[in-house]
Amino acid sequence: MVRDAIQLGEPREHRGIVITPLFPHHAPTAAYLTLDEALPLGFRITEVSDKGAVPELGVTNPLGERVLLYDGEELVGAKQNRILNVTVLVDAESSLLIPVSCVEAGR
């Protein structure tokens, strides 16, 4: 199985140590949607309760693909506009809480 995924490069020797590089047979791919692509397809960002909680939001991904949310990306439309504190990869057909910070003036 591993032989199908990689190929061996030309071995290199230096001071008695031999290193053989490994190369993938196929270019690796990252299969995910961005927030802008996922929102029209049903990806949802919600408050965690009726009152809300400033440091976190809930996300629900009903899609069959993962969604990548970037650190620093602005999330508009909840009770307050927020910005993501970390990069998060939301798995397909899952829900989770994400850490955010408020970015609206005076809040």
User: What is the secondary structure of 3-59 as a DSSP string?
Assistant: HHHEEE---EEETTEEE--EEESS------EEHHHHGGGT-EEE-SSSS--TTEEEE
Say whether 70 sits in a helix, a strand or coil. coil
Overall average pLDDT of the 22-43 stretch = 89
1-5, 14-18, 31-35, 101-105: segment of lowest average pLDDT: 1-5
As beta bridge partners, residue 51 has none
| pLDDT, mean over the chain | 87
- The percent of residues above 70 in pLDDT, for the chain, comes to 90
24 phi and psi angles, rounded to 5 deg: -70, 145
- Mean pLDDT confidence for 43-59: 83
Over residues 3-13, the mean pLDDT reads 86
Residue 73, sorted as left (phi over 0), alpha (psi -120 to 50) or beta, turns out to be beta
Fold of domain 33-102: Immunoglobulin-like (2.60.40)
pTM, full prediction: 0.69
In this prediction, residue 3 has a pLDDT band, given cuts at 50, 70 and 90, of low
Distance CA 101, CA 96 (A): 16
Q: Cβ contacts of residue 9 below 8 Å, gap of 6+? A: 20, 21, 22, 23
